[in-house]
Amino acid sequence: MLTRRIIPCLDVKDNRVVKGVNFLNLRDAGDPVELGARYSDMGADELVFLDITATIRSRKTIVELVEKVAENVFIPFTVGGGIQTVEQMDTLLRSGAEKVSINTAAVANPTILSEGAERFGSQCVVLAIDARRSKDRPGKWQVCIKAGSEPTDIDAVEWAALGEELGAGEILLTSMDADGTKAGYDNELNKAITDAVNIPVIASGGAGTLEHLYDAIVDGCADAVLMASITHFGNFTITEMKQYLADRGIPMNL
Amino acid sequence: MIVVIDYNVGNVKSVCNAFEYIGRKVQLSCDPDVIRQATGVVLPGVAAFGYAVRELGTLAELIKEVASEGRPLLGICVGFQMLFERSCEYGEHTGLGLIRGNVVPIPAGRVIPHMGWNKVELPEDMDLFAGLGDAKHFYFAHSFYADVNDSECRVAYTEYGFDMQASVQKGNVYGTQFHPEKSGPTGLKILENFAQICEKKK
């Protein structure tokens, strides 16, 4: 049986892993290659590296980072942040990333998803959605772009469904309201999206306790759970997370 | 030396990194003369089937030739799928035809792509799995699977609402739908086993 995945997320800025709250107030959390290798040794199922500066200068740095990670880490990893073209996707996949995540560029130019899928296969194309509860439309979420700084009128659920249709093979779904709060995932959002698509959904934003992970999988129907704060700052080990979930009947690779 | 076929698709580098990490020298090449000298050949690939076949081009015939001489060949992911006769991913495409069977979509009614770590039952008589016990988890990421239809072929399965083909062995031709280079220590053991198979055949 396919197991549920535990995915530590490494937000990278100036070659360091950082973590904030609600996308702000960043704290240093270590060296990305070292941290990635450590998580791999600890039994993480997968890793996500996000270049949160995503400038032209950082683009070169992130390719070098991907190459270094790939020499040391033998579990799959996704890389994202500022990717705008199929050529950039190609460079990152060749450098050793298993998947690339596209966020702002897909909103600006949705065909990047279909072009990527046709060339690399949809399993390489991750649609990253940063979603925030809509103030005007209760029970709806709006898509935000440019690292969450720019709200759009796009409905997150509709966007996820369109993304699947265009060729995305997975959705990395971050609740901006929950991100870094350690108050639990937004499982209403997770459920709304997992109901709307048939591709795997990675729930992100808000993990604070082991029970939160369980709730995201059971109530949010997430295929994978992503976390940053609670692993980087030593609250729980990967094994503790997996053991807890396995004890509660979730299939895990232990 | 083992040659990893370099043909303009993703994950080629990861396969080389993994062999290097376990202390096995491999050469990344698309040079026919180098491939002809190989003790074993690895055909990796993260790509859509059609794109991969196009990029492989005339090397396909050479790989078939090397395999027919009895040298070990290991296909991984799309490299595994290309061992078969045909695929219908984004159009109809012809594979190497080394193993009878077609590459078809994973049936609807479950989350697709099949993405993540799934348990593979490991038959005792498949050389790639020597020393690994009776079942292990490996990393998969695919929307199509190989529907094997070859009585000479040994098959290992994973469960995804049906018994899905995860790995094959037909004589000296080996393949894994999963990614051994991304499946942690268990996956690295498979690459080590392949390296030993190549050594024995030398």
Query: Does A182 map to a domain?
Result: yes
* Confidence at residue A233, expressed as pLDDT on a 0 to 100 scale: 82
Q: Is B24 on the interface with A (CB under 8 A)?
A: no
Q: How far is CA B158 from CA B20, B46, B128, in A?
A: 28, 20, 16
CB contact under 8 A, B117 and A95: no
The predicted structure's pLDDT at residue A122: 92
Q: Report d(CA A56, CA A53) in Å as an integer.
A: 9
- Burial group, residue B132, by CB count within 10 angstroms (0-12, 13-18, 19+): middle
Whether omega before B113 lies within 30 degrees of 0, making that bond cis, reads yes
**Residue numbers of the domain that contains A18:** 5-247
The pLDDT tens digits along chain A (254 residues) read 999 999 999 999 988 998 877 777 778 888 999 999 999 999 999 999 999 887 766 677 899 999 999 999 999 999 999 999 999 999 999 899 999 999 999 999 999 999 999 888 899 999 999 999 999 999 999 999 988 889 999 999 999 999 999 999 999 999 999 998 899 999 999 999 999 999 999 999 999 999 999 999 999 999 999 999 888 887 899 999 999 999 999 999 99
Tell me if chain B has a CB within 8 Å of the CB of A40.
Answer: yes
- Supply the pLDDT for residue A21: 72
Tell if the CB–CB gap between A94 and B188 is shorter than 8 Å. Answer: no
Does residue A184 lie in a domain region?
yes
Q: Pick from B79, B67, B73, B57: which is nearest to B2 by CA?
A: B73
B201 reaches A (C-beta below 8 A) = no
What is the count of structural domains for chain A?
1
The percentage of chain B sitting over the pLDDT mark of 70, rounded to a whole number, equals 100
Q: Is A203 left (phi over 0), alpha (psi -120 to 50) or beta?
A: beta
Name the residue with higher pLDDT: A14 or B34.
Answer: B34
Best mutation target, A90, A253, A254, to test chain B (most B CBs within 10 A): A253
Give the SS3 label for residue B105. Answer: strand
- pLDDT of B51: 86
Over residues B138-178, the pLDDT tens digits come to: 999 999 999 999 999 999 999 999 999 999 999 999 999 99
The CATH number for A116's domain is 3.20.20.70
Is any Cβ of chain A less than 8 angstroms from the Cβ of B162? Answer: no
- Measuring CA to CA, which residue among A166, A127, A170, A124 is closest to residue A145? A127
Q: Do B112 and A124 touch (CB under 8 A)?
A: no
Whether residue B4 lies within 8 A of chain A, CB to CB, comes out as no
* Residues of B forming the active site: 77, 179, 181
By Cβ distance, the residue of A93, A98, A169 closest to B182 is A98
Q: How far apart are CA A178 and CA A204, in angstroms?
A: 9
B46 has a pLDDT exceeding 90 = no
Q: Is the ipTM value over 0.95, yes or no?
A: no
B11 with A93: CB under 8 angstroms? yes
Kindly report the CATH class assigned to B2-201.
alpha beta
- Mean pLDDT value across residues B37-66: 92
| Mean pLDDT (chain B, rounded) | 95
Chain B residues within an 8 Å CB radius of A75 = 139, 182-184
Percent of chain B scored above 90 by pLDDT?
Answer: 88
A166 touches chain B (CB under 8 A): no
Residues of B in contact with A70 (CB under 8 A): 13-14, 17
With contacts defined as CB-CB under 8 Å, which chain B residues touch A123? 46, 113, 115, 141-143
Query: Could you tell me if residue A39 is inside a domain?
Result: yes
**Is A172 domain-assigned?**
yes
| pLDDT at B97 (0 to 100) | 96
pLDDT of residue A1: 92
The verdict on a CB contact (< 8 Å) between B182 and A74 is yes
CA distance A74 to chain B (A): 5
Domain-located, residue A180: yes
Please check whether residue A52 lies inside any domain of the structure.
Answer: yes
Structure tokens at A119: 């060339």
